[in-house]
Amino acid sequence: MGKSNAIRSDNCSPSGDEHQIDLENLLAKLDTSENGLTEEEAAQRLNTCGANILEETNKRSPLYNYLKQFKNFFSILLAVGSLLSFFAEWLDPGQGNLYIGFALAGVVVLNATFTFVQEYQAEKIMESFRQLIPPQSKVIRNGKIRDVLATELVVGDVIVLEEGDKVPADGRLIEVNSFKVDNSPITGEAEPQLRALICTHPNILECRNMVFSGTLVQTGNGKAVVFGTGMHTQIGKLATLTEKTYSAETPIRKELNHFIHIISAIAIFLGVSFFLLAFFIQDVVLASLIFAIGIIVANVPEGLLPTVTLALSLASKRMAKRNALIKQLESVETLGSTTVICTDKTGTLTQNKMAVSSLLVGLNETDIHDNNNISDIFVRVSALCNNARITEKAPGYRGDPTEGSLLVFASSLADIKTLNDQYPRLQEYPFDSIRKSMQVICSTPHGGLEAYLKGAPEIIVDMCNSIITKDGEVPLTDEKKQTILDKHLAMAERGERVLALAYRVAEEEIDYQDGFVFLGFAGAIDPPRAEARDAIARCHTAGIKVVMITGDHPVTARSIARSVGLISDGDDLVMITGDELEELTHTELAAKLTTKSIIFARTSPVQKLKIVQTFQSAGEIVTMTGDGVNDAPAIKTADMGVAMGSGTDVAREAADMVLLDDNFATIVYAVEEGRTVFDNIKKFIAYILTSNIPEILPFIAFVLLAIPLPMTVQLILAIDLGTDILPALALGVEKGEGDIMKRPPRARSEKLLTPQVLFTAYGIKGPIEAAAGFFCYFAVLKDGGWTFGQQLPFNDPVYMQAITAFFGAVIVCQIANVFTSRTRTQSLFSKGIFSNRYVLVGIASELLILSIIMWHPFAQKVFNTAPLDLRYIMLALPFALLILVFDELRKYFIRKDVKIVDRFLGW
């Protein structure tokens, strides 16, 4: 066949029918032959089609990604406040506005940096895909086999594949020899599939004359002509799909954005309103501007995002100790919101380790450890009619998983090396899709020959004319054959992969087709994880639906689902195969997803993505678990992506959380932690909002009552970024209240900031704290000889002491507030006042900061404070006690189900 050096650019991309067209026509289409290309032709095609690499699209520079973090509303608001502070410092130097400007700018940079670091993790996804392509490959060039870089493979190359090789490109097989490939990274199917030269399925992923980039050769060898490289391979399509798939915005991010918008709107409204009010009353632009800045700064909780981030970080560290590695901090809370968990089967609910679980010896079911009833010949056939090899590394064998499990079983009853030495193999007739059996001829220690046979039960039984029973060898009647096949069906319904074993005395080294003695069945299964059943039961108790999505056969999927408690007898089960799913409209699928028990079998990567997106469109918060490349797009799209630690790099990089111990039960702990985090964030929001009122009212009193300003902007920042931070973090590590895993997932409509939280903070606790501040403030002024209407300069010692007293009073009341905020409905005294030692550390930090601001000379200069007799601060204690009493009464009435209290004060 004549070939030109060049290839048309449209042939660089597969047409999709390479598995179906005649091989000769395919070679003509690719302008190649079974002898491969020349070096010159390969170089020309490399120039036309490009290298065999996975490329990133729409990649942004790290600088761009960092700068975009500054465009959110919260950052813009704080940045404007910072610029206004610098402007005020320029107009009137020395009033402390410089410190305010730097503090606000620092908060903006800190928040942007936190977010950037989290998002940077996602950029590693493409690198993981690249690792699936081997660095070198064997290829036929100029009629000779040689090693080339996998990146230099081109369409039309003929690659040589052997056991243990990673397939470097998509290809059509032109030669096979007992060739099995593990396609699980692409299809999710656990069992390695025997390859063939003919088209066996209209779906290219199911067709056995194909090999795909990134998959692994388990046994045998073969040759293939390359028709797809780089982004034009199946793995390349997955890479593109994953990269173009957008990660779902986390529920906590949505709630924080909602909270920020409301608080910022309040801040801007009050700032502008009181700027105009101050201007009309005092007719001084600069003073009015400084006043407006103060109002905005007092309303905006500058420490909120750093506190939330640190709280999530602490939660992620606790989860790491339980083998759950959190990559996206905000995802800690997402698990707590999860309503649906879509879980893979292989390696997630199961151990991903095939093992012989049951035996049929003759006509009798036999325990696999019952040495007395398992004959030597049964063990010999299991060990010698087998191409797997025993290894020291997990799972204990190398080769086909079903053969490997059979060999491990045999090794528990006999020494494999001794058997191979005593019964050397003389001839093999390998398994293929037509014969569905494997036969070997071995010599015996006595000089004779024996033929050992294993394969599909219906094929092996038909090749036998006798059977071994406890009474010896007897004829295999049609009745006995039917009994055997019925037992095979029962084993298959348990999800087992069943191999039949037989033998006969051989006269010569030929492929015998009859005359065998039936020995029995060996049933192998990928056993479920021991802890999976309890984990799923806890998910159900917590109101979470668990859905299995697998690439395996429906019978296997159903069996595993039943064994781990996903379904039980009497359940209205919906089983949907990939082909059925393809035919369903969005509306039809959405209707089926409302069923209690759902299993998806034989699904493709795109279909997994479709399932996740349909759940999301129905308002569900979806967690997707998996371990293969095929899971990556769905993992990334899900609200919470969870990968197994032993899975592929691609799945781990796409995920928000990695289970280092591959333990499904760890998800349950993570759900509990996520729910606790949401509760705790709500607690410290209620805590930090309370201090907004004693920060705002001094500015209002300053304008309306013409009194000296009781609280400066610097002291407001000392509270928001200083004294409130550690107590808020301490609330972030509170243990969950008793019913946290017995209540359903929180509704999407449940907000962090509710009218009840606002009313409690702004309407009751906040005014009590403000009253305490004003009481201490005026006590200092009165004792200092101040009279109403008298203006005091900022450097007046009495004024400096008075604002110090106001600040100290707020701190005292916030100490009471942090205690009351530790529980939402449970009494503080039943929880234990001192049970959270971090709260005590937080209180100590508040008192330390108060002491430094009162007595350290540099702090006095920055905050315009002065040393103060502590008796003035102690005047705030009755107000702090009032906060404690009020909140205990609030919780008491909520526990007693007093509706009006729950309606207005329950949060």
CB atoms within 10 A of CB 857: 7
Residue 685: left if φ>0, alpha if ψ -120 to 50, beta else—which one? alpha
SS3 572: coil
Could you tell me whether strands 210-211 and 170-182 are parallel, antiparallel, or unpaired per DSSP bridges?
Answer: antiparallel
The two three-digit tokens of residue 349, written as one number = 């609910």
Please name the residues in contact with 171: beta carbons below 8 A apart, sequence gap of 6 or more: 159, 210, 211, 224, 225, 226, 227, 228
Q: Which two tokens stand for residue 217?
A: 């050769």
Cis, bond preceding 554 (omega within 30 deg of 0) = no
Ramachandran category for residue 190: left, alpha or beta (phi over 0 → left; psi -120 to 50 → alpha): alpha
3-state secondary structure 361-417: ECCEEECCCCCCCCCHHHHHHHHHCCCCEECCCCCCEECCHHHHHHHHHHHCCCCHH
425, 449 in Cβ contact below 8 A?
no
Among 344, 639, 679, 724, the active-site one is: 344
Hey, is 544 helix, strand or coil?
coil
Is 157 among the residues known to form the active site? no
Helix (H) or strand (E) holding 503: strand 497-506
- The string of DSSP letters for 79-96 reads HHHHHHHHHHHHHSTTSS
Taking a C-beta distance cutoff of 8 angstroms, is the pair 712, 699 a contact? no
Q: Which two tokens stand for residue 744?
A: 């359903």
Query: Which string of DSSP letters, residue by residue, matches 420-469?
Result: HHHS-EEEEE---TTT-EEEEEEE-TTS-EEEEEEE-HHHHHHTEEEEEE
Phi (first) and psi of residue 595, to 5 degrees: -65, 150
Q: Quick check: helix, strand or coil at residue 473?
A: strand
Query: 168: which residues sit within 8 A by CB, 6+ positions away?
Result: 52, 133, 134, 137, 150, 153, 159, 213
SS3 595: coil
Cross-strand pairs, 224: 159, 173
Contact 155, 15 (CB under 8 A): no
> Which H/E stretch holds residue 651?
helix 649-654
Instruction: Decide: helix, strand or coil at residue 472.
Output: strand
CB 436 within 8 A of CB 456: yes
- Let me know how many helices (H) and strands (E) the chain has, helices first: 37, 26
| Tokens linked to 282 | 């005092």
Helix H, strand E, coil C: the string for 180-232 is EEECHHHHCCCCCEECCCCCCCCCCCCCCCEECCCCEEEEEEEEEEEEECHHH
Q: Read off the amino acid at residue 690.
A: T
The partner residues of 429 in beta bridges, in order of sequence, read 439
Q: Quick one: CA dihedral 646, 650, 655, 657, positive or negative? A: positive
Residue type, 251: P
Q: How far is the C-alpha of 855 from the C-alpha of 850, rounded, in Å? A: 9
HEC-encoded secondary structure of 293-355: HHHHHHHCCCCHHHHHHHHHHHHHHHHHCCCEEECCCCHHHHHHHCCEEEECCCCCCECCCCE
What are the catalytic residues? 344
